[in-house]
Structure 1
Amino acid sequence: MPPRVRLRWHSPQTSAIPTQSHHLLPHRTQIRTIRSIREVVKPSPKPFEKYNKAITPYALSCTAALARKETATPHRPGVLARKKGMSSIFNPSTGKLQPVTILQLDRCQVTGHKRAGPHGYWAVQVGYGWRDPRKLTKAMLGHFGEVGVAPKQELAEFRVRNSKGLVPVGTELHPSYFQIGQFVDTRSQTKGKGFAGGMKRHGWKGQPASHGQSLTHRTMGSSGGGQGSGSRVHPGKNMPGRMGGQRHTIQNLKVMKVDDENGILVVMGHVSGPNDCFVQVQDAKKKWNQFEEKNLPIMPPTPAHITPDSQALEQAAV
């Protein structure tokens, strides 16, 4: 057996025992010094205000939010219409029948404003149709009575870019509010289908019809992995559930026909929702420069779209 090596617990550099006191220590006494790890000097954490001192007031302000959404906000409000059905129109440029959707406007008037100061954004409230005052609450009757507009069947709010898009209260919006050839966005509620399976709701292909597949032709397969993916179902997984009944936007629909006499607005393509559903029609967000390209007026002519009641309200306000 090899000789045992005696461990040396202290180093001559770290021992600070005076020479004259060695004779006071017992024989074979070992002196151990604790080696401390040098602390790493780290900078003190700075407060949140110092990091974003220059950009925090701007980024979190209402003015900054409106500036970020300026190019994606239309200049003027939209209108409320009802979907009456679909048809087709011959397009002489392509030589084909184009599917179109027929929308009808009925006594569409401006009923209120939202301003950036008290409310935080610019918007215009638009009403559609007429409703029996006996079926309205006192609060709604007071709102309509304050602005001098007849009770409306449906109300909608349209955001605008700035104060220039605030159409006077009481202004009646006709189909000629839009120009033939311009592009609009439509927002409506889709048809409610109730609880639907995955194949109908998400368009799954389905599992094999043979090769030992037993009564699982239309059902879903695995809903998630094991340990590698966290042993859970990830958010947003396509599964069976309630289908439809959601707000849906269709962008860049071309205006094909305008009829003020019958209150008809015809747009190319399909609009979500069943017949007689309410549709919000507004200038296309992604075609923000279409008025400059085609030299179209941004706001409608004032005398042709303002009723006598709204003119009296404006004079009273002045």
Structure 2
Amino acid sequence: MSGIIGKKVGMTSIFDAEGKNIPCTVIEAGPCVVTQIRTVENDGYTAIQLAFDEKKEKNTTASLKGHFAKANTTPKRKLVEFEVFPEEKNLGDVVTVDIFAEGDYIDVVGTSKGKGFQGVVKRHGFGGVGGQTHGQHNRMRAPGSLGASSWPSRVFKGMRMAGRTGGDRVKVQNLQVLKVYPEKNLLVVSGSVPGAKGSYVIVDK
């Protein structure tokens, strides 16, 4: 799939033609530079590598400096490969938000907000034990029995328990492009996008 690398700006809402208020997310999409072209002969597959967001040279390794120099561009922070582009790309070409149009449907990949170590109520939506009578004074948000006794004498993998929540790679599919602002490299899409403000996202067509 073709696409672009972006950065989540935040959420807002706009009104459609019928006056309905639609929640939407603003994404700073591109401009991205083509920094590598993968071919079957050299790499065993075909893909286009895009780079986004300026990075200081002093914070860039020598090998990456050479990598970006081949594309005649400055160091970038985020590198992502895309499988297919409708038109042929060359090293140093710039991909902008113009590849999208209002009404397009896209998929957005991001890293969800990290929430730290959480219990089963917040992490998995458990309801707790219910009432507070009959001596239940401190079990309201407890997981309850795990169901494993003399057999199998262990806890099965995947058991829903407390643990680290968030910080996962999440894809949200079929979001509609509501507005495109090429002069500001902004994309306004319907609904919510995973991640905190300022986090990187991958927008797939």
- What is the TM-score with the length of structure 2 in the denominator? 0.92
How far has the Cα of 1:115 moved from its partner?
2.3
Match of 1:89 in 2: 14
Match of 2:90 in 1: 168
How far has the Cα of 1:104 moved from its partner?
0.8
The answer to whether structure 1 residue 234 and structure 2 residue 159 are counterparts is no
1:140 pairs with one of 52, 56, 64: 64
Contact map agreement 1:225 1:231 (CA 8 A) in 2: yes
Residues 226 and 118 of structure 1, relative CA distance in 2, 3 Å threshold: farther
Unpaired runs of 5+ residues, structure 1, are: 1-73, 284-318
Residues 165 and 227 of structure 1, relative CA distance in 2, 3 Å threshold: farther
The one-letter amino acid of 1:225's match is: A
The answer to whether structure 1 residue 190 and structure 2 residue 92 are counterparts is no
Which piece of structure 1 moves more, 170-179 or 263-272?
170-179
Residues 173 and 191 of structure 1, relative CA distance in 2, 3 Å threshold: same
How far has the Cα of 1:164 moved from its partner?
5.8
The one-letter amino acid of 1:132's match is: K
Aligned length: 204
Match of 2:134 in 1: 211
Contact map agreement 2:30 2:95 (CA 8 A) in 1: no
How far has the Cα of 1:280 moved from its partner?
0.5
Contact map agreement 1:224 1:234 (CA 8 A) in 2: no
The one-letter amino acid of 2:134's match is: H
Match of 1:80 in 2: 5
Residues 227 and 133 of structure 1, relative CA distance in 2, 3 Å threshold: same
Residues 166 and 221 of structure 1, relative CA distance in 2, 3 Å threshold: farther
Contact map agreement 1:189 1:247 (CA 8 A) in 2: yes
State the distance in 2 between where 1:112 and 1:124 align: 6
State the distance in 1 between where 2:41 and 2:162 align: 45
Larger Cα-atom Rg: 1
Contact map agreement 1:130 1:150 (CA 8 A) in 2: yes
How far has the Cα of 1:106 moved from its partner?
4.3
State the distance in 2 between where 1:103 and 1:164 align: 22
Query: Can you list the C-alpha shifts for 1:213-236, whole angstroms capped at 9, x where unaligned?
Result: 2411111111233356x3321211
Match of 2:188 in 1: 266
How far has the Cα of 1:211 moved from its partner?
2.5
Residues 173 and 199 of structure 1, relative CA distance in 2, 3 Å threshold: same
Which piece of structure 1 moves more, 104-113 or 191-200?
104-113
Contact map agreement 2:16 2:22 (CA 8 A) in 1: yes
How far has the Cα of 1:102 moved from its partner?
0.2
The one-letter amino acid of 2:94's match is: E
The answer to which structure has the higher strand fraction is 2
Contact map agreement 2:31 2:97 (CA 8 A) in 1: no
How far has the Cα of 1:78 moved from its partner?
1.2
Match of 1:123 in 2: 47
State the distance in 2 between where 1:269 and 1:164 align: 27
State the distance in 2 between where 1:240 and 1:165 align: 48
State the distance in 2 between where 1:114 and 1:238 align: 41
- What is the TM-score with the length of structure 1 in the denominator? 0.60
- What is the RMSD of the two structures over their aligned residues, measured on CA atoms? 1.8
The answer to which structure has the higher helix fraction is 1
How many percent of aligned residue pairs carry the same amino acid? Answer: 37
State the distance in 2 between where 1:277 and 1:199 align: 27
Residues 106 and 182 of structure 1, relative CA distance in 2, 3 Å threshold: closer
Match of 1:33 in 2: none
How far has the Cα of 1:262 moved from its partner?
1.0
State the distance in 2 between where 1:223 and 1:113 align: 51
Match of 2:169 in 1: 247
State the distance in 1 between where 2:125 and 2:82 align: 34
Residues 241 and 146 of structure 1, relative CA distance in 2, 3 Å threshold: same
The answer to whether structure 1 residue 107 and structure 2 residue 31 are counterparts is yes
How far has the Cα of 1:277 moved from its partner?
0.4
